[in-house]
Amino acid sequence: MTHGEPPYPDTVLEFQTRPPFSVDLRRPVDLATLAWLRDAGLGEPFAIVTACNPGGAQLDEKENRVQTGNLEASLRAGGLAIIHVDGCSPDRTHREPGFAVLLPLEDALALALHFGQDALFWFDGERFWLVAGDGSREPLPPPRGE
Protein backbone atom coordinates (compact mmCIF):
# COMPACT_ATOMS: atom_id res chain seq x y z
CA MET A 1 0.00 0.00 0.00
CA THR A 2 1.46 3.31 -0.98
CA HIS A 3 0.86 7.07 -1.12
CA GLY A 4 -1.00 8.71 -3.97
CA GLU A 5 -3.94 6.34 -4.05
CA PRO A 6 -7.43 6.53 -2.58
CA PRO A 7 -7.47 6.63 1.24
CA TYR A 8 -6.94 3.22 2.81
CA PRO A 9 -10.23 3.17 4.75
CA ASP A 10 -12.10 3.51 1.44
CA THR A 11 -10.61 0.31 0.04
CA VAL A 12 -12.70 -2.56 -1.26
CA LEU A 13 -10.91 -5.90 -1.15
CA GLU A 14 -11.76 -8.22 -4.05
CA PHE A 15 -10.79 -11.80 -3.25
CA GLN A 16 -10.07 -13.71 -6.47
CA THR A 17 -11.72 -16.94 -5.38
CA ARG A 18 -14.47 -19.06 -6.92
CA PRO A 19 -16.87 -17.39 -6.56
CA PRO A 20 -15.17 -14.02 -6.16
CA PHE A 21 -15.94 -12.17 -2.95
CA SER A 22 -15.59 -8.52 -1.90
CA VAL A 23 -15.12 -6.88 1.48
CA ASP A 24 -15.79 -3.15 1.74
CA LEU A 25 -13.48 -1.80 4.45
CA ARG A 26 -15.84 1.16 4.96
CA ARG A 27 -18.29 -1.24 6.64
CA PRO A 28 -17.93 -3.46 9.72
CA VAL A 29 -17.32 -7.15 9.06
CA ASP A 30 -20.62 -9.01 9.28
CA LEU A 31 -21.36 -12.65 10.06
CA ALA A 32 -21.70 -13.58 6.37
CA THR A 33 -18.23 -12.17 5.66
CA LEU A 34 -16.75 -14.02 8.65
CA ALA A 35 -18.29 -17.26 7.36
CA TRP A 36 -16.99 -16.66 3.83
CA LEU A 37 -13.48 -15.91 5.09
CA ARG A 38 -13.52 -19.08 7.20
CA ASP A 39 -14.75 -21.15 4.23
CA ALA A 40 -11.97 -19.65 2.05
CA GLY A 41 -9.35 -20.83 4.55
CA LEU A 42 -8.97 -17.42 6.15
CA GLY A 43 -10.53 -18.12 9.52
CA GLU A 44 -7.28 -17.25 11.31
CA PRO A 45 -5.55 -13.85 11.39
CA PHE A 46 -4.02 -13.01 8.01
CA ALA A 47 -2.34 -10.18 6.13
CA ILE A 48 -2.99 -8.68 2.73
CA VAL A 49 0.24 -7.54 1.13
CA THR A 50 0.93 -5.90 -2.23
CA ALA A 51 4.18 -5.09 -3.99
CA CYS A 52 2.74 -2.40 -6.26
CA ASN A 53 4.05 1.14 -6.36
CA PRO A 54 6.86 0.66 -3.81
CA GLY A 55 7.99 3.68 -1.85
CA GLY A 56 5.07 5.72 -3.15
CA ALA A 57 6.42 5.69 -6.71
CA GLN A 58 3.64 5.27 -9.26
CA LEU A 59 4.93 2.45 -11.47
CA ASP A 60 3.41 1.58 -14.81
CA GLU A 61 1.28 -1.53 -15.16
CA LYS A 62 4.12 -3.67 -16.51
CA GLU A 63 6.46 -2.76 -13.64
CA ASN A 64 3.73 -3.44 -11.09
CA ARG A 65 3.12 -6.87 -12.69
CA VAL A 66 6.82 -7.65 -12.26
CA GLN A 67 6.70 -6.52 -8.62
CA THR A 68 3.58 -8.62 -8.02
CA GLY A 69 5.24 -11.64 -9.64
CA ASN A 70 8.28 -11.22 -7.41
CA LEU A 71 6.07 -11.08 -4.31
CA GLU A 72 4.13 -14.15 -5.41
CA ALA A 73 7.35 -16.06 -6.11
CA SER A 74 8.66 -15.11 -2.67
CA LEU A 75 5.48 -16.31 -0.96
CA ARG A 76 5.39 -19.58 -2.90
CA ALA A 77 9.09 -20.21 -2.27
CA GLY A 78 8.27 -19.95 1.43
CA GLY A 79 5.62 -22.65 0.98
CA LEU A 80 2.84 -20.26 1.88
CA ALA A 81 -0.73 -20.69 0.68
CA ILE A 82 -1.99 -17.51 -0.91
CA ILE A 83 -5.22 -16.05 -2.22
CA HIS A 84 -5.07 -13.30 -4.82
CA VAL A 85 -6.71 -10.10 -3.53
CA ASP A 86 -7.09 -6.79 -5.32
CA GLY A 87 -7.27 -3.64 -3.20
CA CYS A 88 -9.59 -1.29 -5.09
CA SER A 89 -11.09 2.14 -4.81
CA PRO A 90 -14.87 1.96 -4.35
CA ASP A 91 -15.43 2.96 -8.00
CA ARG A 92 -12.79 0.39 -9.11
CA THR A 93 -10.74 3.03 -10.99
CA HIS A 94 -7.68 2.22 -8.83
CA ARG A 95 -6.61 -1.39 -8.30
CA GLU A 96 -3.55 -2.97 -6.74
CA PRO A 97 -3.12 -6.73 -6.86
CA GLY A 98 -1.84 -8.44 -3.76
CA PHE A 99 -2.18 -11.58 -1.70
CA ALA A 100 -3.90 -12.76 1.45
CA VAL A 101 -1.45 -14.87 3.41
CA LEU A 102 -1.52 -16.58 6.80
CA LEU A 103 1.56 -15.11 8.47
CA PRO A 104 2.24 -13.65 11.90
CA LEU A 105 1.81 -9.88 11.76
CA GLU A 106 5.50 -9.21 12.37
CA ASP A 107 6.51 -11.45 9.45
CA ALA A 108 3.88 -9.92 7.17
CA LEU A 109 5.04 -6.43 8.06
CA ALA A 110 8.67 -7.36 7.37
CA LEU A 111 7.56 -8.75 3.98
CA ALA A 112 5.63 -5.58 3.13
CA LEU A 113 8.59 -3.41 4.10
CA HIS A 114 10.91 -5.60 2.02
CA PHE A 115 8.71 -4.84 -1.00
CA GLY A 116 8.74 -1.09 -0.26
CA GLN A 117 5.24 -0.79 1.18
CA ASP A 118 4.14 1.80 3.71
CA ALA A 119 1.43 -0.42 5.22
CA LEU A 120 -0.60 -3.59 4.92
CA PHE A 121 -4.09 -4.76 5.77
CA TRP A 122 -4.44 -7.14 8.70
CA PHE A 123 -7.44 -9.25 9.69
CA ASP A 124 -7.38 -10.29 13.35
CA GLY A 125 -10.23 -12.80 13.10
CA GLU A 126 -12.93 -10.20 13.79
CA ARG A 127 -12.04 -6.98 11.98
CA PHE A 128 -9.60 -5.45 9.51
CA TRP A 129 -6.81 -3.06 10.44
CA LEU A 130 -4.46 -0.84 8.53
CA VAL A 131 -0.98 -1.52 9.93
CA ALA A 132 1.68 1.07 9.11
CA GLY A 133 5.33 0.23 8.59
CA ASP A 134 6.10 1.36 12.14
CA GLY A 135 3.58 -1.16 13.50
CA SER A 136 0.91 1.37 14.44
CA ARG A 137 -2.65 0.25 13.72
CA GLU A 138 -5.87 1.89 12.62
CA PRO A 139 -9.13 -0.08 12.82
CA LEU A 140 -11.18 -0.37 9.64
CA PRO A 141 -13.69 1.02 9.39
CA PRO A 142 -12.46 3.86 11.58
CA PRO A 143 -14.57 4.53 14.67
CA ARG A 144 -17.45 6.96 14.07
CA GLY A 145 -16.54 10.60 14.49
CA GLU A 146 -13.02 10.25 13.05
Task: Select the more confidently predicted residue: 143 or 12.
Answer: 12
d(CA 140, CA 75): 25
Cα separation, 53 vs 56, whole angstroms: 6
Q: How many CA atoms lie within 13 A of 130 on its CB side?
A: 21
pLDDT > 80? residue 7? no
pTM of the model: 0.91
19-45 average pLDDT score: 95
CA distance 124 to 69: 26
DSSP for residue 54: G
AA letter at 14:
E
Q: Tell me, what's the pLDDT at 120?
A: 97
Radius of gyration of the chain (CA): 14
